[in-house]
């Protein structure tokens, strides 16, 4: 669980830049719906905004590769980020349809559709983990004099490339099997009606961390098994049935427009007093992005690894939403995602049914999300944003100030209080705290550490120490890392 929480924290860096990108896309779609549907000629401004936001949203995987690599590296060194990119590029190229077709001796058109979906968040996270692991293990590698140039951190990228080749070979066999199995699973639940829609909604959310939700989406939204829900809803193809078409899209609107923003409110209100200000920035922007555009990843990735149990609850609630809306005489659809912009535009679609009913339904579902999330967070002590720590101090850490600005001196005193650099195994920091892993807790002197002028010292475990520095923690952490080298 500790490893997952660290992974979740490492995703905060790339996730933080996604809400603004999603909102830019939403504004672009709002200005001119032609950008969304691909029909007609879009205006230059809307096209510009959509492309600007899409630069980040469409490349979420590589952002995750960089963020995870840095966050999971022992010292957050930039070399780990380079390794993460190397891994991502290797996997993307080796498993591209063109290369796969060449390896199998078949035409690109015959390559399994799974390989066209290899650019996803799960592969980004995997690449970041490969890069960070290779960095942590090989950053101090010493080679013979003839190869001395490639010693140390320069060896990391080379090792990462080799490991990524092995990972690609494993994915070469596993990825299409899993992808095809999910497509077959989706086809098997088509005849279950509203229950099938609920099952689809549940697995749609559950598979997002693995990047495999595209397999299920293709069955229900496109013409893989004859449903083609998306295109039939908008009237671009024949075969739509009023009151039925759109059932695999409608249930996402109460979740994305109301449920997740309400969940964000619950997470904010249950954050620790000293962490609320920091949690607010991320949660508010992510909630707005979810409501306005239907881009949910900034909010979902903010808690899916920090609190996997809570994400499971979210998946269940999504499934229930799709089942309920499939039973009710209400249909809305989307070109992009189930946000406010798409809902408004879909009111004019030929298969839209009582779209205004989505508002009271969404408000009820938002209340359900809020109550369930708040209860679960408090009951099970889920480590959502603002609750990641085992806090023993009740203070607003964002207002903590140091006694002086000699960051080198402060870092030196803290290091001495920890028993020297030989006793420190890992250095990290959040927004206000220096987070450290140590070998021998008996060598730690809290009195010495506090003499540096810090606000407090917390010891969550025998090998963990957290020093409350305040907003200037990054400067202290940088000096601390220099002293540990």
Q: Which residues are the active-site residues?
A: 430
Tokens found for residue 259: 């449920």
- Structural contact between residues 449 and 414, judged by C-beta atoms closer than 8 angstroms: yes
Q: Which residue has the tokens 């000699």?
A: 406
In whole angstroms, give the CA distance from residue 120 to residue 385.
24
Instruction: Give the residues across from 466 on adjacent strands.
Output: 435, 458
Q: What are phi and psi of 95, to 5 degrees?
A: -100, 15
In angstroms, what is the C-alpha Rg of the chain?
25
In whole angstroms, give the CA distance from residue 340 to residue 362.
11
In whole angstroms, give the CA distance from residue 56 to residue 64.
11
In whole angstroms, give the CA distance from residue 123 to residue 398.
35
Instruction: Give the residues across from 433 on adjacent strands.
Output: 468
**Side-chain-facing half-sphere of 147: CA atoms under 13 Å:** 10
Tokens found for residue 436: 């450290």
Instruction: Give me the long-range contacts of 224-228 (CB less than 8 A, separation at least 24).
Output: 224/183, 224/186, 224/187, 225/186, 225/187, 225/190, 227/190
In whole angstroms, give the CA distance from residue 227 to residue 240.
9
What contacts 290, CB < 8 A, 6 or more positions away? 256, 257, 260, 261, 264, 296, 298, 299, 339
- Structural contact between residues 226 and 252, judged by C-beta atoms closer than 8 angstroms: no
The helix (run of H) or strand (run of E) holding residue 437 is: strand 433-438
In whole angstroms, give the CA distance from residue 434 to residue 481.
11
- Structural contact between residues 237 and 183, judged by C-beta atoms closer than 8 angstroms: no
Helical residues (DSSP H) of 32-153, grouped into ranges: 34-37, 44-57, 60-72, 78-94, 97-104, 121-138
Q: What are phi and psi of 461, to 5 degrees?
A: -155, 180
In whole angstroms, give the CA distance from residue 18 to residue 186.
30
In whole angstroms, give the CA distance from residue 137 to residue 156.
9
């Amino acid at each position: 669980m500790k490893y997952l929480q660290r992974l979740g924290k490492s995703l905060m860096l790339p996730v933080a830049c996604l809400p603004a990108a999603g909102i830019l896309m939403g504004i672009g779609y709002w200005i001119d719906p032609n950008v969304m549907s691909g029909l007609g000629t879009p205006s230059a401004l809307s096209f510009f905004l959509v492309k600007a936001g899409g630069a980040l949203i469409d490349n979420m995987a590589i952002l995750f590769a960089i963020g995870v690599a840095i966050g999971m590296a022992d010292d957050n060194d930039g070399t780990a980020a380079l390794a993460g990119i190397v891994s991502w590029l290797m996997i993307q190229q080796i498993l591209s349809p063109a290369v796969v077709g060449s390896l199998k001796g078949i035409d690109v058109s015959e390559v399994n559709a799974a390989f066209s979906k290899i650019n996803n968040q799960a592969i980004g996270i995997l690449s970041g983990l490969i890069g960070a692991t290779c960095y942590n293990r090989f950053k101090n590698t010493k080679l013979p004099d003839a190869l001395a140039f490639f010693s140390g951190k320069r060896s990391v990228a080379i090792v990462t490339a080799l490991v990524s080749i092995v990972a690609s070979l494993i994915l070469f066999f596993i990825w299409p099997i899993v992808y095809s199995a999910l497509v077959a699973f989706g086809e098997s639940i088509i005849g279950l009606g509203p229950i099938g829609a609920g099952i689809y909604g549940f697995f749609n959310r559950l598979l997002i961390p693995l990047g495999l939700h595209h397999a299920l989406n293709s069955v229900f939204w496109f013409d893989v098994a004859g449903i083609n829900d998306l295109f039939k809803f908008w009237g671009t193809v024949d075969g739509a049935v009023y009151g039925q078409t759109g059932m695999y899209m409608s249930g996402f609107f109460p979740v994305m427009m109301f449920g997740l923003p309400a969940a964000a409110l619950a997470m904010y209100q249950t954050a620790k007093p000293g962490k609320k200000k920091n949690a607010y920035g991320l949660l508010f922007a992510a909630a707005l992005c979810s409501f306005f555009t239907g881009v949910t990843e900034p909010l979902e990735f903010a808690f899916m690894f920090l609190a996997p149990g809570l994400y499971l609850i979210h998946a269940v609630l999504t499934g229930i939403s799709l089942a309920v809306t499939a039973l009710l005489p209400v249909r809305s659809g989307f070109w992009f995602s189930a946000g406010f912009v798409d809902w408004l535009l879909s009111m004019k679609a030929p298969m839209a049914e009582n779209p205004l009913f989505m508002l009271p339904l969404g408000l009820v579902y938002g209340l359900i999300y809020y109550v369930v999330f708040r209860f679960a967070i408090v009951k099970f002590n889920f480590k959502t944003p603002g609750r990641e720590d085992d806090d023993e101090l009740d203070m607003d850490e964002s207002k903590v100030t140091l006694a002086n600005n000699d960051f080198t001196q402060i870092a030196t005193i803290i290091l001495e209080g920890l028993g020297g650099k030989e006793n420190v195994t890992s250095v990290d920091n959040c927004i206000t705290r220096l987070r450290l892993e140590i070998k021998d807790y008996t060598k730690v002197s809290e009195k010495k550490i506090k003499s540096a002028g810090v606000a407090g010292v917390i010891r969550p475990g025998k090998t963990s120490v957290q020093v409350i520095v305040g907003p200037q923690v990054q400067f202290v952490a940088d000096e601390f890392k220099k002293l540990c080298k």
